[in-house]
Amino acid sequence: MSASSGPQPSAPTDPHSYARPTEVSVRHLALHLTVDFATQTLAGHATWQLTRSGAAATELLLDSRDLLIEEVLLGEADAGMPTDFELGPADPVLGQALRIALHPDTTAVTVRYRTAPGAAALQWLRPEQTAGTQPFLFTQSQAILARTWLPCQDSPGVRFTYEAQITVPTQLLALMSASNPQQLRPDGRYHFRMEQPIPAYLMALAVGDVQFEPLSARTGVYAEPATLPGAVDEFADLEQMVATAEEMYGPYRWERYDLLVLPPSFPFGGMENPRLTFVTPTILAGDRSLTSLVAHELAHSWSGNLVTNATWNDFWLNEGFTVYFERRIMERLYGRPYAEMLQALGHAGLLHTLADLGPTSPDTHLYLNLAGRDPDEGLTDIAYEKGDYFLLTLEQLVGRPALDTFIKEYFGSHAFQSMDTTSFIRYLRRELLDSHPGLEARLRPEAWIYGPGIPDNAPPVGSERFAAVDAAGQSWQQGTPASQLPTANWSSHEWVRFLNQLPANAGVAQLSELDATFDFTNSGNSEILAAWLPRTIAAGYTPAEEALHRFLTRVGRRKFLTPLYKELLAAPANGPARARRLYAKARPNYHTVATSTLDALLGRPTDK
Ligand SMILES: [Zn+2]
């Protein structure tokens, strides 16, 4: 809930939560859990301190999904009174409402529970799925999976502080979205505190054979020992990124900023868990070329974590601002031509998504209507790239200095609060549009936010460096040998652009020439591989098959997997059969975030 004083003008209701925080809301969590790798469960208790709106507020509603609720106490864990509770009907996406009747003097509630072995937020990795010899556990709570490992008010509009005691096998380190240890504790018992209020989707836990290396006084990186040295080198600019972000939009409010490099099955590029961003190892390219992803997760420390979308329908407020901020950080650090490449790649992705969804699809509005759907399925590139494009349009109309002042003030005045789209538009009018006559008519925010596609006032997107790449691609198509193309100083972004611009009907002979010259099949850069492999599938270029199989069974990042499986399904002859065979083999390595998307695409493989 918003912490601002005075009555709230009708807080938006969250269609993805059973909670009724305007009556009883959670305020602070004390979490005690034991992590058991043998049964793949977490067990313990959660004590919630409550805020009640008045004497009539007599019931606490929590979200839960697949949790085994053992006991509910009114009060603290050691002194509470057992009480009855009721679990509502189970919805496959939303789970169940956990209803707890409160006494007039109840200020805290304790829930004893354990998670199910298949809890959707949790991914339990066997040692062979890691870079080392120990098992690994990580959580992914966004969008509404926190409720699968914690009974909570799982709505981005509800914030709470927390403390936790997590017990793990003594050879493993536990980390959370909180103050974190930097070395092993002999008793395997770790204490955490998060003193800034966060929504439930930012609850995070990771347990594994992980070590820490500082990068600056307030930044550092955690990774498996085999991965750590490369990660330290890859993220050498981290402190500079934080300092740059602060220069633009105000102080970093979360004390430390550390990274945790996960095993490759992590389903996302990164997850902005406060104080401890989780990142995929697929951005470890060896040349610091894919670190814009870190700038993105860092930017969430302002847009998302500090000022949070009130519901998932307002997701563009999290992601649009974050993409815009990310590219501004990258521009400051590496120059405008570099940032323009990122913008152009994002723009191409946006056009792709718009073509996929169709010109009139409501899913291309910035403000979404996800009621009755799994929010994760509705959260597309639109929120990110169309959201960024809206801000870019505003930048062009009002100028950077005015927009930067507005954004800095927006973050500062709504820190640790949630924001819905209607309130944002009101704020935008009051703080920016109304003081610039004619600006609103030129910006047309309603068309951007409540309408489909890209309004025609959007500025053009271009990149000089990509223009040179496109010229090289043209020249190759007209007969210039690949070895004579001017590729000497190309970054991975330029290679990705080159591959994306290849003609759709590029055949085996053409791909062979490119592969012989540039060795794409053996690239250590995941973005280049992810752009190359779909080409090889479409053309039936068999020398890349082994690399494709290795990639699909090792990497769990959904952004890469979905286009690859789509390309496999579309391949002639035995394409669909091959896609399903590969999927059945690789699926155990994927997080539920990825499998829920891929099951819809490929069908769920039957066991045995
Ligand atoms: Zn993001």
pLDDT at 493: 97
150-175 residue pLDDT tens? 999 999 999 999 999 999 999 999 99
pLDDT at 77: 96
pLDDT at 128: 87
pLDDT at 544: 97
131 vs 464: CA distance, rounded Å:
39
277-308 residue pLDDT tens? 999 999 999 999 999 999 999 999 999 999 99
User: In the structure, what pLDDT confidence band is assigned to residue 593 with cuts at 50, 70 and 90?
Assistant: confident
559 is in an annotated binding site: yes
Mean pLDDT within 464-478: 97
pLDDT over 70 (residue 14): yes
User: Cβ atoms within 10 A of the Cβ of 423, count?
Assistant: 20
For the chain, where do the domains classified as CATH 1.10.390.10 start and end? 307-450
346-372 residue pLDDT tens? 999 999 999 999 999 999 999 999 999
pLDDT at 574: 87
Mean pLDDT within 101-116: 97
User: In the structure, what pLDDT confidence band is assigned to residue 223 with cuts at 50, 70 and 90?
Assistant: very high
Q: Are 314 and 367 contacting, i.e. CB atoms less than 8 angstroms apart?
A: yes
268 is in an annotated binding site: yes
Residues in a beta bridge with 222? 212, 260
Tokens representing residue 467 in the block: 């223009």
**516 CA → ligand 1 middle, Å:** 37
Tokens representing residue 72 in the block: 């509910």
**229 CA → ligand 1 middle, Å:** 26
442 is in an annotated binding site: no
> Residues 297, 326, 331, 385: which is the catalytic one?
297
Mean pLDDT within 546-574: 94
Q: How much of the chain, in percent, has pLDDT values that exceed 70? A: 98
270 is in an annotated binding site: yes
Task: Using DSSP, state whether 55 is helix, strand or coil.
Answer: coil
**300 CA → ligand 1 middle, Å:** 7
pLDDT over 70 (residue 194): yes
Residues in a beta bridge with 109? 48, 74
pLDDT over 60 (residue 421): yes
User: In the structure, what pLDDT confidence band is assigned to residue 605 with cuts at 50, 70 and 90?
Assistant: confident
**352 CA → ligand 1 middle, Å:** 19
pLDDT over 60 (residue 607): no
User: Cβ atoms within 10 A of the Cβ of 293, count?
Assistant: 18
96 is in an annotated binding site: no
> Residues 252, 338, 367, 384: which is the catalytic one?
384
**383 CA → ligand 1 middle, Å:** 9
User: Nearest-CA neighbor of 140 among 590, 571, 607, 604?
Assistant: 590
pLDDT at 572: 83
For the chain, where do the domains classified as CATH 1.25.40.320 start and end? 491-602
For the chain, where do the domains classified as CATH 3.30.2010.30 start and end? 210-301
192 is in an annotated binding site: no
Residues in a beta bridge with 45? 32, 112
User: In the structure, what pLDDT confidence band is assigned to residue 608 with cuts at 50, 70 and 90?
Assistant: very low
Mean pLDDT within 330-339: 97
pLDDT at 573: 79
Q: For residues 538, 544, 549 and 555, what is the CA-based torsion angle, rounded to 10 degrees?
A: -90
17 is in an annotated binding site: no
Residues 51, 55, 60: CA angle, nearest 5 degrees: 50
Q: How much of the chain, in percent, has pLDDT values that exceed 90? A: 93
pLDDT over 80 (residue 12): no
Region for residue 551 given its phi and psi (left: phi exceeds 0; alpha: psi -120 to 50; beta: otherwise): alpha
pLDDT over 70 (residue 9): no
Q: Are 464 and 454 contacting, i.e. CB atoms less than 8 angstroms apart?
A: no
369-418 residue pLDDT tens? 999 999 988 789 999 999 999 999 999 999 999 999 999 999 999 999 99
**320 CA → ligand 1 middle, Å:** 8
Determine whether 334 is an active site residue.
no
Mean pLDDT within 42-62: 95
The CATH code belonging to domain 307-450 is 1.10.390.10
**80 CA → ligand 1 middle, Å:** 40
**384 CA → ligand 1 middle, Å:** 7
272 is in an annotated binding site: yes
146 secondary structure, DSSP code: G
Mean pLDDT within 333-355: 97
Determine whether 590 is an active site residue.
no
Q: Are 501 and 473 contacting, i.e. CB atoms less than 8 angstroms apart?
A: yes
236 vs 325: CA distance, rounded Å:
20
CATH superfamily, region 19-208: tricorn interacting facor f3 domain (2.60.40.1730)
408 is in an annotated binding site: no
| CATH architecture group of domain 210-301 | 2-Layer Sandwich (3.30)
Mean pLDDT within 308-316: 98
249-265 residue pLDDT tens? 999 999 999 999 999 98
Q: Are 410 and 431 contacting, i.e. CB atoms less than 8 angstroms apart?
A: yes
pLDDT at 2: 37
**291 CA → ligand 1 middle, Å:** 14
512-537 residue pLDDT tens? 999 999 999 999 999 999 999 999 99
pLDDT at 11: 58
414 is in an annotated binding site: no
CATH for 491-602, options being 3.40.50.720, 2.40.30.30, 1.10.3720.10, 1.25.40.320: 1.25.40.320
pLDDT over 70 (residue 3): no
Instruction: Give every CB contact of residue 1 below 8 A, 6+ residues apart in sequence.
Output: 8, 11, 21, 22, 25, 157, 158, 159, 418
**382 CA → ligand 1 middle, Å:** 12
pLDDT at 54: 84
pLDDT averaged over the chain? 95
